[in-house]
Structure 1
Amino acid sequence: MHTARLGRTRANIEIDERVCFTVYEMGRLLPAAAALNFSVEYASLVIFGTATRISNEKQATDALHLLLQKYAPHLQLGQDYRAVTPEELTRTSVYRIAIEEWSGKKKEVPADFPGAYTYSY
């Protein structure tokens, strides 16, 4: 994970390296006849562990480039954008999380669920 060099996240981790990190994917919204019964498909994962700041410049840069590959796989380093520079890296804290525990859950309904729709924002 990464965050600003100065701010609450880094300050908190410097006091206590224990972290909780959540990842989720939202699916279709599931309407119902009563408001109480509206729902949503989802998949989520919560991890608990310890965060260590990566001080090695190459490792931190590589980690940031991996994030770019994840969220913009159609763009290529060196072709569509330039690499993170050492000066830019001084504005960012990059962390490695050692996972100690995790739990996940998922809600999925049949494809033909009546009225199910995807929310576009």
Structure 2
Amino acid sequence: MEDYSKKVRRKDRQETDEAFLIEMLEKSPACSVAIEKKGFPMMHVAFFVYDEANKEIIFHFSKHGYAGQLITDGKKACVSVYKYGKLYTAAKAVDFGCEYQSVIIYGKIRIVSHEAEHMAAMEMFFNKFFSHIPENTFEAMTAAQAKPIYVAKIKIDDWFGKEHLVPDGALDAFYYPASPVI
């Protein structure tokens, strides 16, 4: 048996353009990381950054709890990044559906242990999420302040994407009526 399936069942929805995969990773804030574990996989939801130069997903976590015990060097992982769009209707209920874009990534975890690499990763997070905040309104993070934040990298061994948009034959299309904000 293979470690994981490299096959996409719905070839009509598969995205092979690397630009699609990169854009999904650059414009998505959060991912789910499934970590190899005996019995059931451990799922960790995290904000992440994509390091295109090194083809890595970078995320952070706390050393306390299950994440700190299970997110270790060399552990196999699968990352899911997902966006949903409109729901749509059709003449038959079986043909109702939802727009989506997704990327699935396979790789192995490496815990960042060197201070310079750790701070560079923290800067990538900051630049992705907070670069619009004026620098004169806060105190910059120090290595001592960042030390309790564990950073992991997943080198991308393999990845694939999928996209499904509202089909031409849909009767109606609408967004799910819930606020995306807590």
TM-score interval w.r.t. the shorter chain?
A: 0.7 to 0.9
**Contact persistence 1:69–1:75 (CA under 8 A):** no
CA distance in 1, matches of 2:149, 2:160: 29
Q: Which amino acid aligns with 2:164?
A: K
Task: Return the offset for 1:44.
Answer: 0.6
Aligned residues: 120
Q: 1:107 and 2:161 equivalent?
A: no
Residue pairs, 1:11-90, within 5 angstroms: 11-14=69-72, 17-32=75-90, 35-76=93-134, 78-90=135-147
Identity within the alignment, %: 28
Q: 1:65 to 1:118 in 2, by over 3 A?
A: farther
In structure 1, runs of 5+ residues without a counterpart are none
What is the Cα deviation at residue 80 of structure 1?
4.6
1:94 maps to which residue? 151
Root-mean-square deviation (Å): 2.7
CA distance in 1, matches of 2:122, 2:169: 40
The normalised TM-score by structure 2 is: 0.54
| Cα distance in 1 between the residues matched to 2:119 and 2:169 | 45
Secondary structure, counterpart of 2:126 in structure 1:
helix
Check whether the contact 2:90–2:170 (CA below 8 A) recurs between aligned residues.
no
Secondary structure of 2:71's partner? helix
Per-residue CA deviation, residues 50-91 of structure 1 (Å, 9 max, x unaligned), is: 111111223222212322332345335x24544333233222
- The separation in 2 between residues aligned to 1:31 and 1:49, in whole angstroms, is 37
Please, what TM-score do these two structures have when normalized by structure 1? Answer: 0.77
